[in-house]
Chains A and B, each alone.
Chain A
């Protein structure tokens, strides 16, 4: 059809449709804008502004000054202002007149000046004209003009002068009048200052409040759509270009927008308490207690606000004062603003809880550099709750988030935020040493992570799982790899250096955590070992060794776990493994073990082969070295060795019963006090008996030895075998296990025998020695062997059937010997060359089982020297893709086996209660994490029941999961108040497990930009590394190494207490006799260091015994460093070290316990020594015992400033006895030179860091002045001059004369005797020549005197000061001079042992440097600054201290001076 004018569709319909569509589009746009307006962060920011206003308002109210003061001050201002205006008023007319006069006079003067200047110029022109005249005549003519001008000039000068004088007069009058005004102005400004002082803070807050109110402009700008422009709400972000996010294919700048919602993050006043305080009572019922309280509070606040209002209005009445306010008083709100915040909102708005460490620009992790996600993870660029990937920290929180915030897990962000409970994990990204998270001595900044690290180290996780610190040469985390085998120390220095220089793969450092099993046959028997392998905790509940049997995937008693034909496998395997261990151990001890044999054979073969390849040569060298390192063992039955490696004979057992009883008693004594309890515990010492106090050690560094007697039971007929092993172990554990951390304790063989006798006499309580693992049927062994054989390379079903065909005499056919020969040399199947016995099968099974279970990860197992760890590497487990974790049917397992509880640890910190017959508790949080396939869930369950993932899965025996079941909470668990033992154990285990998880989740192998890595300076690094060595050898078990730290809030209460303590200290005798003002200005025992946090006082000290009646919450600490504080009158004071300070827990912000000193505290608190010998060791009234402390390991506070590094290094390598009082000796640790050096550096570095003013240096110390040539000469000359001045010189010479005479006679007699004896004429002549000049006594004395005056005077007198029975010799031996009662170390050690500066300080003020809780110790202050100086030496007390120190530091030289050598101190007092 042709075209028409007709519309295709009716126009009207189209119009309607068009209109409709337009409306719809409008609706959609409005909807869109609405969505935008209601974006989560915008709502939050709008609310936050209210919160901010309310909070500022409250802060303002808190600062509200006393209105009376303000009014007085402001009235004073007004008054001053009035006075000023009065003065101005009264002066007005006079001033006016003067001003008019002044103006007129100024005009006059100006006019006169102008005239004068003009005439002056004319005169100058006239003179010039005259001077340039061609002849005198003309000059004469011009003279007149000049004169005329001159006259005019003079007249004008006079006029000008008068005018100026007048003006000055007027001005003087005027300023006189203005002076009064100025004074009044000054008064006014002073009063204004006063007003500011009174009300300034308030005004500032009031101004802020006024500004923070929503105004029209804000309201308008926040309207929908308009808020797209200059909005008062906007996204806040931190841009971290230097720490980008790895998006797999690209590094993308990190934008952290968290502060878009967490707006109070950086503002210290946004505390949770303050936010909660904003609550309004409106929603609460009127009659509820809370409602009443709130209402009351609010009313009070409203009153204050009214007051504030009044105040501001009062001030504003005066427009001038109003100006001072800086805001419109009308803007101040009339009503107290309240904001009801939910807990989640409070959490959202509150400040970061650790501003001292994070976020704050002055903290270690400023937010500009670190952002938020670098620690917290999550999606930083998100601006809403869900997309930011927040993660709840408990099931409770999750539920709440779900219901209130619509939370659901965000699966589209790979690294969701870390739940609060695991937030410490990320510290590991940059803090690879972990111990660098310990600050200020012993403050654990990431306690959970550090605990996890320690547990991983202790439990030996790295034996199976690689935890490497490097990834292609870049540092990625803590390095916990096994040390090479043989250990590094066994290599030649060159080779060691080469290994250490490898930056890609340097050797690991961790020792295996279990003992070597090479010599196990000497130690125990198969029966015991079987039971141990089956259930280590059954024998020793606190053991580190995990359980391999009786677990969820191999317990034959569990229904449906093992098929009928596998039920015997666990026992068969246990039998096989123990058989293998003892078999191999015996072979090893006899020098016949296969591997050594094979090595020898191979070496011989290689050596004989002339045409070795390069590789073969290397193998040959390796074998030769191995054989050299692994010398043939000598069985204990042949010889035992003492700590020095000398062969000794076994001490005999006393014949009679009494002798044996005495031996046991002595053994217990030694065990208790010789330091064993620093690492071990033993139930035998926990019971008091006769002179023995109960000593309950909770140490678990070494094993609990309570049941030792049941374990040490070698299967030998020899009755001495048990004792022998134990004595050998105590004397020198390295024989049994070269890499043990047990030190050599320096016990004598007899003493070791005593200890062994006692240990072996202690019954193994609760241990049924008869019970055994049921022996497996031979068929079970055959079946188990079949499992492994079928998987052996090249083995067919038919082969296996043949091998396992029974033949005569309980044997099996085995492999044809010819076939076996063809197998590789290291194939286990070679041992099955037929016919084979059950033992051969067991041996074979054990090889496979040990390979599978990885026993060699913790133990040195014969035959497995080169085996590789069996577990998954944990290097990046923390970010392992959960899809790669085999969750299997674990949810069903947990649901079936456990009872889910909301939390394992309740608000009171108690563990969960389990009724009888109830299933064990399981935290809901982790159950849900399992359901949702989160790493946390997997890991938690893996640590609880590592093998439960086999649940409901069909697995062959060898395919079952093999990770053993650990128990992380070991040792003596003490229940809290109101908690049962069972609850406490569950709680401790849960905490420990979470700590381990925190550590493992932190292993993300993310190479962090170098700038972000924590790379401490060299001193701090020494501290960090040293701490690891200290922990490795449990140095803190005996020694107190660092003091505790109490961080206190400097409130007025605390200041009062500190003032008291300060007064107490200044009244004390020790303070008065101190040299504080002269000697130790920079030393932190006298002068406190400023606190690194301005808002808190850092108190270093140790807990001190408290007096009997104290307020609740009160604590006492004895300062180990001076404490600097500001008193109420703004004066700064130092309370020196050694003083006692008290405070209450209200002021305590944080605390760190002292590091180390457990053993000393244990013995003192148990009163072991004071019970044993109450004469020698006395108890102080407060329960302390300084005597006991002196007998126990010394505290090592200030060790670095005290000892010379070289000496300490030598001492650590081979310690010797120093202190006569100490009842135990420093043991010799099995540590490397590097480790010893690390410790030396630790102590020095710590003192360098904590005491920067005293110039501690290390590892080399500056040469000591006393040992320089000329030191003594120089000092003697000055000293002699002093003596002469005091007329003491002759007296000294007279005293010395008898000595010289004695020396003379000695020398001449000696020479004469020599001459007489001499046969050779020439020699005689020489001797005679020597004798001639000294033959005459007078001449001799003269030379001696000259020598003395010029070189020795200082040294001899100083020596006499030292060699005095009143002082040093009282307690110390000094070279040949014996001590009256030796209690201190011999002083001749000083020269090489101590640092010179410290020695001086020590002699001067020992009470400041050695701190016992009680404050008492035996070193007296012999040279008190306020005492009379000692007569032996001419000089002040300070000179005397210095002189004694000088002698000690150069003791060998000074003591060799004849006049000193011959000197014997007078007995008795000389004062």
Chain B
């Protein structure tokens, strides 16, 4: 596998800060943005062999945990063991996805690809077993267009408009994972959830992956996903738990608020307006949407993984609000991803 192919796959998946850390860790040069970086790393006159193995491992690890929508299922130890044993012995079907893994297929190569998840790898580690599936999914892209990008007649016809936006669906290779840890009570289904993907697409992906898993192991080990709604209030109230960067909540004064604050190191819990508003109320606020960030140390600095628990005011007002999805972003690898999952499990044990 060449560095250019790895770089293109990284560009397709990794947020820029994560990609930069991976490149730095592997002593690879960086350009001004992904385009220039991929250009540099695709230069065949330069020998990057020293970094191929490390970068391949980092890419593989990122595929298991980068930008995912996660559902957790409580599964007994005997059932987890049975699932693990079956997956460790399953035969991987031939596919172009599998041949390229961990590199990703380009949009052109995906033209005839399947939207059904195809098993491409079983990753076995000290922490547990992960079954990796690939499929073709679409992402909607909106791009502003300038008149000089359009044919002359078209530009004239559209000259009355202040803004012209092009919409296109882009095919990409989605990588979804079923994770069975050796310790803990939960099996996780992680589907790709890049920025710009509609939640309904992830919902369908979750359902398809679960169906495919059942078909593969010829058993149904997963019942209902765990309800994560109680974690929104619990994590918000835990003053030393990460940094709250987004919070939506209702008040008994019949108001809905949506606050965001992503300035480095500042937490919404401590923000003057937020505290002042709460102090003016006789009843607690009722959070229904939370984004929380942690700092996880690495050998070369730190990463800032983020957990999103996104319910709605409507669900929040119901007698028994349910939220099954956790959106986990900006992880560099399994270390920070597992950290976030452990925090979720910690709070689940206490609600």
Partners in one complex: no
